[in-house]
Amino acid sequence: MIDHQTALIYTMVMVSAADRDMTDPELQTIGDIVKHLPVFADYESSQITKTAQDCATLLSDPDGLDKALAMIGEALPEKLRETAYALACDVAAADGRVTQEELRLLEWLRHGLDISRLDAAAIEHGA
C-alpha cells in the first residue's frame, strides 16, 4: 500500500513515461508540483527520485500498469482523484505537446479514477 502523496507522484510519472520519453519540462513540472502544492507540504522532496524509480520498476512489470492504477485507486481518497487527474494533465501538457500514448493513459486514468467526462473536460481545458 502506498500513501496519497506517492499515488499522486506515481500518476505524474506514469503520464511522463507513457511515450517512453520523460522530457525535462515534464520532470521539472513534477518537481515544481511536489515543491509547491499544499498536498505535498509534509512530503520529503528528497524522496521524489526514489518514488519515481519505484514507479518505473513497477511499470516494467508485465501487469505493472494495472497494478499501479490499482495502487493509486486504493491510496487516493475521493477528494484527491480529480487532483490526480489534473496533475496528470499538467505533466502531459508540460512540454507543449501531448502524444497519443499520453492521451490513452489519461483516458485510462479517467476511467480508473472514475472521473466524469464533464469534469475531465474541464480539467483538461484548464491544463
Q: What is the CATH number of the domain that holds 53?
A: 1.10.3680.10
DSSP states of 43-64: S-GGGHHHHHHHHHHHHHSTTH
The pLDDT value recorded for residue 41 is: 94
**Could you give the dihedral angle defined by the CA atoms of residues 35, 36, 39 and 42, in that order, rounded to the nearest 10 degrees?**
50
Q: Which residue has the cell 509547491?
A: 36
Half-sphere exposure of 67 (CA within 13 A, CB side): 13
The pLDDT value recorded for residue 22 is: 85
CB atoms within 10 A of CB 62: 7
Write out pLDDT tens, residues 13-58.
Answer: 999 988 887 888 999 999 999 999 999 999 998 899 999 999 999 9
pLDDT band at 1 (very low <50, low <70, confident <90, very high): confident
State if pTM tops 0.85: yes
Identify the domain containing residue 119 by its residue range. Answer: 4-126
Domains in the chain, number:
1
Share of the chain above pLDDT 70, in %: 100
